[in-house]
Structure 1
Amino acid sequence: MKRKDFLYLTGMGISASMLSRFTAMGSPVVPGTRMRDVDVALKKRMADVALNAARSKGATYTDARIGRYLNQFVVTRDHNIENVVDTESYGMGIRVIANGCWGFAATDKLDNDSIARAAETAVAIAKENARIQSDPVQLAPQKGYGEVSWKTPIEKNAFEVPMKEKTDLLLSVNEAAFKNGANYVNSVLFFVNEQKYFASTDGSYIDQDIHRIWPIFGVTKIDEKTGKFETRSALSAPRGMGYEYLIPRDSDKIKSQTTLYRDRYDMHEDAAAAALQAAQKLKAKTVEPGKYDLVLDPSHLWLTIHESVGHPSELDRVLGYEANFAGTSFLTLDKWESKKFKFGSEHVNIVADKLQPGSLGAVGYDDEGVGAKQWDIIKDGILVNYQAIRDQAHIIGLKESQGCCYSQSWQDVQFQRMPNISLQPGKTPLNVEQMISKVEKGIYIIGDSSFSIDQQRYNFQFSGQLYYEIKNGKIVGMLNDVAYQANTQEFWNSCAAVCDKNDYRLGGSFFDGKGQPMQASAVSHGSSTALFKGVNVINTARKI
């Protein structure tokens, strides 16, 4: 499920029956019937049944993942509560190596006999797969951690907040937009809790409790005389946090053209601003196509980072494993081997990170029992690394996995998924106002919207939510119908400056799709506001 599809469906008031069709989200839950937390000792006993059964059938390696996945959607439109949806999914996935090949099976029946049968099935699948696999799996070594645990450091569990408090919040957010002239408003709260237990024959027994939150809305303003309308979506970022994300603190506020927060989010202020800005967009002049310097806010730049840096640096994509579904990558191995491929300017430092607090990708351990890490992808503009997991590490000479393996649920096999991929802040003190003051002809872009990018992640086009014209170092008004085009290498080599760490913020998505069958993962992308020189801007309203 792609992010834009989710936003569209929720904006239309998605029904509970439609949500339940997405198997990774689980089955709808009758209020008051949620499964109670499973004791860790019981999880260990169940995992040991899987490990022992697989070993007895000839597996040389086994891991078992017991997962309880909770999702909650609260959906409103205008003055009404449209839907409240709870889903829950619980079961075990078992992955093995036998005869040098992978096998996988899963079960939602967690008695000893069913677990053992699933393990035996995984081994049988591996042995059959081995008949046609020429090269055996090379698994990077991984020392077992013993019995350990990790939890998202939340202050307030969103699943324990009374439903009335959540619906009251959304309806009051809608009202804030109506007071500022909105004609239609929809708003959604989306909460995720992944309770995951991992065990392997390496000697790890890892219990994790992961929380995520995403508040979103859409505001529509109609010109009654012309019938034309404009919209503005929320500038919120999904976060790896609890309900405290929705309780803003003034110290977290960032000065900008709109209300933005680093670690907290004021949904009311953003909705009120959105209504006013949607009205301003109706009166904004259309952009003149041409070359502009672009000042890109983190609320916009995260998506450009995701598509043009995150995906092409996935090693499985580079190797062609994703060619049938998602394409390949222009960042071929020869570019990395040269150690001098100029991906971007010297201002471009891109880091992969599974540790950053509050991010969607933050975990203690990945889904094959590897401790979370941080590493460079682009260093001073040069491609220096990729994203790799245990059975890929040897391909690029790594002695251990980078810890970026993930599965969307217990019933799906884990594979290489994007960690948080972020542009590092500039080292020289620089704020947004100072950056804009140095631009003669430019556009300041806030928020993400539509995009297009080719299957090698090279040629692209992006648009945003809000566009402000810059002339001679000053913002002179709002623009409309803006999109910019470039190729990835050209674009990142045009990066002339990045604001300092005081402007650094996260964006991200709950629904990064990949694989066949497709799985969704959640990932954050951080940056400070950045300046790109001489980028081609087109007018999206004009016919070619």
Structure 2
Amino acid sequence: MQRRDFLSFSGLSLAGLILPHTRLIAAEALMVPMDVAAKKILADAALTAATHAGASYCDVRVGRYLRQSLITREDKVQNVVNTESAGVGIRVIVNGAWGFAATHQTKPDAVAAATRQAVAIANANAGHRSQPVQLAPVKGVGEVAWKTPIKKNAMEVPVKEKVELLLSVNAAGLNAGANFVASRMFLINEQKYFASTDGSYIDQDVHRIWLPFTVTAIDKASGKFRTRDGLSAPMGLGYEYLDADPAGKFALPGGVVGYGRSYDVMEDVVAATKQARAKLTAPSVKPGKYDLVLDPSNLFLTIHENVGHPLELDRVLGYEANYAGTSFATLDKREAGFRWGSEIVNFTADKTEPGSLGAVGYDDEGVKTKRWDLVKDGVLVNYQATRDEVHILGESESHGCSYADSWSSVQFQRMANVSLAPGKNKLSVADMVKNVENGIYIHGRGSYSIDQQRYNAQFGGQLFYEIKNGQITRQIEDVAYQIRTPEFWNACVAICDESDYRLGGSFFDGKGQPSQVSAVSHGSSTTRFNGVNVINTARSLG
């Protein structure tokens, strides 16, 4: 479909991959919220049925999950999909065992029937449990509401306007010298209503947005090509994220621009095109030991993989072993005061940070969200745990990190926003670079690999700049750094202050069987690591 053809049919939706009980809808329907009173009726039907059937606990989630994706390449619209998935999920405890059932029928009788099915499943499970479920107490909060603090609902922005933006991004890249440009936009709105026998009725409206792109530059004489992806982060914000507020920019050494709570995609695509073309002639890195200066757009993924995941308690306990591995960070290490990193390394888990992907008022167990320490002054102090796990840590209060990606999925422990605290002393990126004699400055997420215990890993990036005697000398290519998690974080020697703090994140983080997807952010300031092993990833040095 050509640009002019699409813009004359702005309401058009094209079919994509549709999950069970998900339907295609018109874009206008994305703006119509569910009625709170109707949701409470459904919740009460479940709570009443569970109590009458002998459940000692019940929680119910009435959900409406809206997703919009727009896919473009050069001057063509490849796909636009608007989907809605709505239904009710019920979880109960009977005789010390869990039971769960769900229904897409949003009528009280159907919800009550699904609740009785959940009770029957719990009764069947009770005969096979090794020990009863032990829930950390939660005080009911009555009727409350929480909403992502957005300024402009992206679902309300006409499809025509969003497609026009993406096609303009592609045109800007092509005009700047790219051979190919592909851009996409993903929008999510989770309308979630939680109720439980603890006495909570919690209505939440959660919004997320992401605009990734890829530019490709080709040397036609040799057939060699290079790409550069956008440097934006997915965010828990509204469409205002794309308003290109100058206050959201970070001018960085080497002429690279970093982005915080605002994203200038037109500026980034032009820079990406020039940098992708520069990659065609950039020299290949010489393998060896380097001091690394890692921008938050690169470091977030390393934090995600070798801090966030290994400190999920269910992984530590082996619950995820079959699907995604376990963790080297076993419980005995916390008891022994395991040194995770140098004394300046502090990691927190946080479900409250504004603008982050994981920010909500309450988790999917009705627990008020909070921030807590994982690594303090370089020492492992805690994990991430839910209501039925936290007693294993000797704690009596859930961390509030339970999540389900759908009303039809059972909630379980998911990663909170795990972030590296900024340095306490004033330090700019320019000042950090000035003190590096032989190093590499890395931006953007690249390919990576990591072992099942999150101990050994390798990470690439989008942009690499050589640092010699405190000066950024040239753009280089084919860089990946190899690490062992504790050695890497113990090699952390400097962190820029809070003025450089930015969020990165994963919009589609998979976990569990059946697999579920969540979104999570990771914040940091630019960080320096000394003596890290760098390899050359080129298939050929020619």
Q: TM-score range by the shorter chain?
A: over 0.9
Which amino acid in structure 2 is aligned with residue 261 of structure 1?
Y
Which amino acid in structure 1 is aligned with residue 325 of structure 2?
G
Task: Report what 2:244 is aligned to.
Answer: 248
1:342-361 correspondence to structure 2 within 5 Å: 342-361=339-358
Q: How many residues align?
A: 527
1:186-197 correspondence to structure 2 within 5 Å: 186-197=182-193
Residues 372-425 of structure 1, C-alpha deviation per residue, up to 9 Å, x if partnerless? 100000001000000000000110011110000000000000000000000000
Residues 469-508 of structure 1, C-alpha deviation per residue, up to 9 Å, x if partnerless? 0000000001101001011011000000000000000000
Which amino acid in structure 2 is aligned with residue 375 of structure 1?
W
Answer yes or no: is 1:422 the counterpart of 2:419.
Answer: yes
Distance 1:399 1:30, change over 3 A: same
Q: 2:121 aligns with which of 109, 125, 145?
A: 125
Between 1:169-178 and 1:60-69, the stretch displaced more is: 169-178
1:196-275 correspondence to structure 2 within 5 Å: 196-256=192-252, 257-275=255-273
Task: Report what 1:531 is aligned to.
Answer: 528
Which amino acid in structure 1 is aligned with residue 471 of structure 2?
K
1:125-164 correspondence to structure 2 within 5 Å: 125-164=121-160
Identity of aligned residues (%): 63
**How many Å separate the matches in 2 of 1:324 and 1:251?**
45
**How many Å separate the matches in 2 of 1:32 and 1:415?**
32
Answer yes or no: is 1:405 the counterpart of 2:402.
Answer: yes
Which amino acid in structure 2 is aligned with residue 473 of structure 1?
G
Residues 433-467 of structure 1, C-alpha deviation per residue, up to 9 Å, x if partnerless? 10011000000000011000000000000000000
Give 3-state SS (helix, strand or coil) of 1:210's partner.
strand
Whether the aligned pair in 2 keeps the contact of 1:296 and 1:529 (CA below 8 Å) is yes
Which amino acid in structure 2 is aligned with residue 395 of structure 1?
I
Residues 275-332 of structure 1, C-alpha deviation per residue, up to 9 Å, x if partnerless? 0000000010000000000000000000000000000000000001011111110000
Structure 1: which 5+ runs fail to align? 1-14
Give 3-state SS (helix, strand or coil) of 2:212's partner.
strand
**How many Å separate the matches in 2 of 1:372 and 1:429?**
30
Distance 1:526 1:33, change over 3 A: closer
Give 3-state SS (helix, strand or coil) of 1:283's partner.
coil
1:372-521 correspondence to structure 2 within 5 Å: 372-521=369-518
Q: Quote the offset at 1:30 in angstroms.
A: 4.0
Which amino acid in structure 2 is aligned with residue 514 of structure 1?
K
Give 3-state SS (helix, strand or coil) of 1:269's partner.
helix
Residues 127-169 of structure 1, C-alpha deviation per residue, up to 9 Å, x if partnerless? 1001110200000000000000000000000010011111111
Give 3-state SS (helix, strand or coil) of 1:325's partner.
helix
Task: Report what 2:8 is aligned to.
Answer: none
Whether the aligned pair in 1 keeps the contact of 2:99 and 2:120 (CA below 8 Å) is yes
| Structure-2-length-normalised TM-score | 0.96
Which amino acid in structure 1 is aligned with residue 436 of structure 2?
V
Q: Quote the offset at 1:253 in angstroms.
A: 1.1
Q: 1:79 aligns with which of 75, 82, 85?
A: 75
Which amino acid in structure 2 is aligned with residue 277 of structure 1?
Q
1:15-94 correspondence to structure 2 within 5 Å: 16-20=14-18, 22-23=19-20, 26-32=22-28, 36-94=32-90
Residues 163-213 of structure 1, C-alpha deviation per residue, up to 9 Å, x if partnerless? 111111111111111121000001011100000000000000000000000
Task: Report what 1:294 is aligned to.
Answer: 292
Which amino acid in structure 2 is aligned with residue 451 of structure 1?
Y
Task: Report what 1:6 is aligned to.
Answer: none
**How many Å separate the matches in 1 of 2:16 and 2:342?**
46
Q: 1:325 aligns with which of 312, 323, 326?
A: 323
Distance 1:31 1:448, change over 3 A: closer
Distance 1:331 1:543, change over 3 A: farther
Whether the aligned pair in 2 keeps the contact of 1:505 and 1:527 (CA below 8 Å) is yes
Whether the aligned pair in 2 keeps the contact of 1:258 and 1:270 (CA below 8 Å) is no
| Structure-1-length-normalised TM-score | 0.95
Q: Quote the offset at 1:34 in angstroms.
A: 5.2
Q: Quote the offset at 1:19 in angstroms.
A: 2.8
Structure 2: which 5+ runs fail to align? 1-12
Which amino acid in structure 1 is aligned with residue 474 of structure 2?
G
Q: Quote the offset at 1:35 in angstroms.
A: 8.3
Answer yes or no: is 1:309 the counterpart of 2:307.
Answer: yes
Give runs of ≥4 in structure 1 deviating > 6 Å: none
Task: Report what 2:7 is aligned to.
Answer: none
Task: Report what 1:100 is aligned to.
Answer: 96
Whether the aligned pair in 2 keeps the contact of 1:393 and 1:401 (CA below 8 Å) is yes
